[in-house]
DNA sequence: GACCAGGCGTCTT
DNA sequence: AAGACGCATGGT
């Protein structure tokens, strides 16, 4: 149906100690993990370590693609290729986006960014925490949330807490997180999810605007957070969260807004713009 | 509509 | 080194 977004099965091969999922030059592990869409990965040795989907991961960018330690080819195919967007033809999307000349510089600076398909509840809570906040601090709060309420994995890392693990807690229980006024929002989100009013299944069955409205019934979820959750946690690539950086760079390079034909992949265009804007602010 | 909330990284002095 | 600033949202 949608010609811009094309899925395929990437080559996956077992190597010493793990697997490599084939990836082209439209994949950068660093840019993907450091672009502000996820908060649980840290640089380690020549790669990244972190936890996703309840599993500790060690990742490296290799010439042939993404190396993942200690996973099977089946897991790579079913879980990790979709998780890292390596089953999606980003070159095709890039070519569509750069048909708009104004987006070319942004796209070129960020074309290795993939939109992750993170777990819904983790994304919901993470982006509630992200509101009015900065990435280093968000990472700290999420770390303490996992440490306090997540399952301890065998290597000492912690899984992201389940909704049930947070359900029924009070704001005093969340004091160790030092998350400020967001404590009550975290509790509200867990309640809505556990009591079945806001679920991934429900969101998936709704059109974009209805899904966004449903998410915004959670206290602490406004339009920006809702768009982030749909983009990073529900694989809705049409979501377009706008923050200060995006607003600034949009005003400068495309005040007329995104062209209509890019709407299905607005989230990827947004990521390119975001990356570009952050690079600019780093330089100055 | 304007303004404050708790906290802290970051930017300015 | 200290102080001001900003950040997304809900409540006043």
Residues A142-152: pLDDT tens digits?
A: 999 999 999 99
Kindly determine whether the C-beta of residue A225 is less than 7 Å away from any atom of nucleic acid strand C: yes
d(CA A142, CA A197): 24
Q: How confident is the model at residue A95 (pLDDT cuts 50, 70, 90)?
A: very high
Predicted pLDDT of residue A235: 95
**Nucleotides on strand C with an atom closer than 7 A to protein CB?**
6-11
Kindly determine whether the C-beta of residue A124 is less than 7 Å away from any atom of nucleic acid strand C: no
The string over A117-131, giving b where at least 16 C-beta atoms fall within 10 Å of a residue's C-beta and e elsewhere, is bbbbbbbbbbbbbbb
Which residues lie across from A55 on neighbouring strands?
A52
Predicted pLDDT of residue A32: 96
d(CA A59, CA A123): 20
Helix (H, G, I), strand (E, B) or coil at A15: strand
Helix (H, G, I), strand (E, B) or coil at A273: helix
Q: Which residue is nearest to nucleotide B6 (CA to C1')?
A: A180
- The least confident of A20-29, A65-74, A253-262 is A253-262
Q: Which residue is nearest to nucleotide B8 (CA to C1')?
A: A137
d(CA A222, CA A216): 6
The residue among A224, A166, A233, A212 whose CA lies nearest residue A193 is A166
Q: Which of A224, A263, A282, A283 is catalytic?
A: A224
Find the nucleotide nearest A131 (Cα to C1′): C8
Find the nucleotide nearest A179 (Cα to C1′): B7
| pTM: predicted TM-score of the whole model, two decimal places | 0.96
The residue among A201, A208, A213 whose CA lies nearest residue A237 is A208
Q: Which residue has the higher pLDDT, A249 or A117?
A: A117
A39 touches A123 (CB < 8 A): no
**Nucleotides on strand B with an atom closer than 7 A to protein CB?**
5-11
Predicted pLDDT of residue A284: 57
Maximum separation of any 2 CA atoms in chain A, in Å: 52
A114 touches A90 (CB < 8 A): yes
| Mean model confidence pLDDT for chain A | 94
Average pLDDT over residues A151-169: 96
d(CA A58, CA A65): 14
Could you tell me how far CA A9 lies from the centroid of its own chain?
21
Q: Which residue is nearest to nucleotide C6 (CA to C1')?
A: A132
Could you tell me how far CA A88 lies from the centroid of its own chain?
15
- The reply to whether A117 belongs to the active site is no
């Amino acid at each position: 149906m949608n010609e811009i977004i094309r899925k395929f099965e990437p080559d996956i091969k077992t190597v010493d100690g793990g697997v490599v999922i084939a990836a082209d030059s439209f994949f950068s592990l660093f840019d993907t993990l450091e672009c502000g869409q996820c908060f649980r990965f840290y640089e380690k040795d020549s790669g990244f370590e972190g936890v996703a989907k309840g599993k500790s991961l060690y990742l490296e960018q290799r010439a042939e693609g993404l190396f993942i330690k200690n996973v099977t080819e089946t897991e790579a195919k079913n879980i990790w290729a979709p998780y890292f967007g390596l089953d999606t033809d980003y070159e095709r999307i890039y070519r569509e986006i750069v048909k708009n000349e104004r987006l070319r510089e942004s796209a070129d600076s960020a074309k290795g960014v993939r939109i992750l398909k993170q777990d819904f509840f983790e994304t919901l809570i993470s982006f509630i925490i992200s509101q009015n906040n900065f990435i280093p601090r968000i990472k700290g709060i999420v770390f303490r949330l996992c440490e306090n309420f997540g399952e301890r994995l065998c290597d000492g890392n912690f899984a992201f807490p389940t909704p049930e693990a947070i359900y029924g807690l009070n704001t005093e229980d969340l004091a160790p997180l030092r998350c400020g006024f967001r404590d009550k929002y975290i509790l509200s989100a867990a309640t809505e999810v556990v009591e079945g009013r806001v679920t991934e299944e429900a969101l998936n069955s709704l059109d974009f605007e209805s899904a966004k409205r449903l998410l915004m019934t959670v206290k602490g979820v406004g339009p920006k957070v809702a768009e982030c959750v749909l983009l990073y946690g529900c694989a809705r690539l049409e979501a377009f969260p706008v923050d200060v950086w995006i607003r600034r760079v949009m005003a400068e390079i495309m005040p007329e807004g995104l062209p209509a034909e890019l709407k299905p992949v607005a989230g990827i265009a947004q990521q390119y713009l975001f990356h570009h804007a952050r690079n600019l602010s780093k330089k100055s």
